[in-house]
Structure 1
Amino acid sequence: MRISYAASEPADPSQEAIYERIKERRKPRPLIPLDLALLHNPNIADGFNTLMGAIRSKSTLNLAAMEMAVCYVAVLNKAVYEWTAHAPLALKAGARRDALEAILHDDVKNSAVLTEEEIDVLDFTYQSTKEIEVRESLMDKLKARYTERQVMELAMTVAGYNMVSRFLVSLDVTESNGKEMKMPE
C-alpha cells in the first residue's frame, strides 16, 4: 500500500466504539485491509462503515443485480481487490457464471448471455461510472422495472462502490494494482 495500514486496535480509548462498530459489521472476519486504510481517520472510517453497511444490508434491490453492478464498477475502474472480494459474492447471490464472465471481459453490450434486466443495470453502471450522466431513456427503463427506492439504491450502490474503487486504487490497498482479475473458483 502507498501508506501504512493503521493499527487494528485504537490508540485512543475514545475511539473504541468506532472500532467495535466496524468489527461488528465484519464479523466473523477480522478487520480487512480497506478498514485498516480508512482507520487513519476513525471518524471517516465510521461514516464509511455506516454508509456501506446500509448499502450492503438495508437495500431492497436484488442482491445478484447489486453485486453484478459492483463487479462492473471494479472492472471499469481496474479495482482488482474490489473484483476479488465481490465476484464470489455475486455468484453466491445468484449471478450466473457466464454473466460474470461477460462483466470481467467488459463484454456487456454485446453479450447474448445477459438478461434485459442485467443489461439495464450494467448500462446504468457504465453510464454512471464513465459518463457520469445517465441517459433519460435508461432511467425510464429502470423506473418501469424498479420502485423509486430501488432506482435510488442502484444509484447509491454504483456511486458508493465507485468511491470504494477509487480509494482502493489510489492507495493500492492490498497491493493489487496491475494484477489480473480472475474468475472465482
Structure 2
Amino acid sequence: MTNRLPPFDASRATPDQKAVLDEILSGPRGNLNGPFLGWIHSPELAQHAQRLGAFCRYKTGLSLRLSELAILVTASRWQAQAEWFIHYPIAIDAGVRAEDAEAIRLGQAPSFADADDALIYAFATELYDTKRVSDATYAKTVERFGHEVAINLVGLLGYYALVAMTLNVFGMRAQGQDSLPFAE
C-alpha cells in the first residue's frame, strides 16, 4: 500500500501546522515518526491528538514496559505495520521479553513471567475482544494500579487504536521501515 496522503512540504506549512510541528519536535518524542505527518493535514486534530499522545505515552502512571506492552497489543490487533515497527524496539529496550512480543505479534497468548504484564495483556485483550473488561480483570487492575491508572490505560489503548487506524487507512509507514511485521 502506498501513502494515500499528498506529501507534506514543511516549507509551505501554515502557522497552525508549524505550531504543531514545533511542539512535537521540541517535546519528548523529538521526531515526526508515526501518524503526525498524516494528522498535519488537519492541524487542529493534530494538535489535540499529539498532546493526548504525549500524555498517554509518558504520563499514565504505568511503567514504560507496561505502556509499550499495551501498545504492542494494540498494534497487533490492528495489524498496524508502522506502529509495531516503531514500538517493538522501544518495548524490548523497556523490558518486554522478545518471546512475549512475538507471541503477541502472532496473535497468541504469551506465557508472561511477570504478573503485571499478564494483567495489562488481559485488560487490553478483553477490551479488544469483548468491547468490555470483566469485573474480575477490572478489580485486579484497580487493586494493582488504582482508578486513575486504569482510566489512563483505557486512554492509552484508545489513543494507540487511533494511531493504528490513521496509519492503516492512509497507508503510512515508519521512517526507515523496510519490512512488514504483518502480512498484507
Please indicate, yes or no, whether the TM-score normalized by the shorter chain is above 0.5: yes
1:6 to 8, 19, 23: 8
1:167 and 2:166 matched: yes
Contact 2:127 2:133 in 1 (8 A): yes
Q: 1:14 to 1:132 in 2, by over 3 A?
A: closer
Question: Is 1:19 aligned with 2:21?
Answer: yes
CA contact (8 A) 1:128 1:158 kept: no
Answer whether contact 1:71 1:83 (CA < 8 A) is retained: yes
- Cα separation, 1, equivalents of 2:152 and 2:34: 26
User: What is the one-letter code of the residue matched to 1:180?
Assistant: L
Q: Work out the CA distance in 2 between the residues paired with 1:14 and 1:106.
A: 40
Most deviating of 113-122 and 31-40: 113-122
Does structure 1 residue 142 correspond to structure 2 residue 144? no
More contact order relative to length (CA 8 Å, sep ≥ 6): 2
Distance 1:33 1:138 in 2: 31
Paired residues for 1:57-136 under 5 Å: 57-108=58-109, 111-136=110-135
Q: Is 2:41 aligned against 1:40? A: yes
Q: CA deviation at 1:53?
A: 0.7
Structure 1: how far apart are the matches of 2:28 and 2:36? Answer: 10
- Structure 1 CA distance, aligned partners of 2:5 and 2:129? 27
8 Å CA contact retained: 1:98, 1:113? no
Is the 1:65–1:118 Cα contact (8 Å) retained in structure 2? yes
Measure, in 2, the Cα distance between the counterparts of 1:27 and 1:159. 19
- Whole-angstrom CA distance in 1 between matches of 2:33 and 2:6: 14
Classify the secondary structure of the residue corresponding to 2:27.
helix
Counterpart of 2:181 in structure 1 is 181
RMSD: 2.3
Question: Distance in 2 between the 1:69 and 1:180 partners?
Answer: 20
Aligned partner letter, 1:87: Y
The TM-score with structure 2 as length reference comes to 0.85
The answer to whether the Cα contact below 8 Å between 2:85 and 2:181 also exists between their aligned partners in 1 is yes
Aligned residue identity for 2:180: E
Q: What do the CA deviations read for 1:14-40 (whole angstroms, capped 9, x no partner)?
A: 5432221122126643x2352111110
User: Using the alignment, how far apart are the partners of 1:14 and 1:71 within structure 2?
Assistant: 31
Q: CA deviation at 1:75?
A: 0.6
TM-score by length of 1: 0.85
**Residues 34, 82 of structure 2: 8 Å contact kept:** no
The 1:165/1:13 distance shift into structure 2, 3 A limit, reads closer
Runs of 5+ consecutive residues of structure 1 not aligned to the other structure: none
Could you tell me how far apart the structure 2 residues matched to 1:167 and 1:136 are?
A: 31
